[in-house]
Amino acid sequence: MKKRACKNCKILTEANECPICKSTDLVANWKGRVAILDAKKSFIAKKAGFKTEGEFAIKVR
Ligand SMILES: [Zn+2]
């Protein structure tokens, strides 16, 4: 099953709701993927505003 991205947090999930904000506003139309392993140390996480570990989409429509 293709993962979907939360419109708010951009996190990728296979569930029917966002694991972070519990939103059900998930979109299948996303591009790019970045895995955040340690949100506190990751430069990408800081730059993009990701505050938790997980897989995130770069672009969400
Ligand atoms: Zn979310």
Extents of the domains making up the chain:
4-60
Cα(13) to centroid(ligand 1), Å: 10
Cα(51) to centroid(ligand 1), Å: 11
Write phi, then psi, for 42 (nearest 5 degrees): -75, 125
Structure-block tokens of residue 44: 């990408």
pLDDT (tens digit per residue) in 25-43: 999 999 999 999 999 999 8
Cα(50) to centroid(ligand 1), Å: 11
Report the predicted TM-score, pTM, of the whole model to 2 decimal places. Answer: 0.86
Picking from 33, 32, 31, 53, the residue whose alpha carbon sits closest to that of residue 42 is 53
Q: Is residue 27 within 8 Å of 57, Cβ to Cβ?
A: no
Instruction: Indicate the pLDDT class of residue 48, thresholds 50, 70 and 90.
Output: confident
CA distance 56 to 48: 10
The CATH class that applies to domain 4-60 reads mainly beta
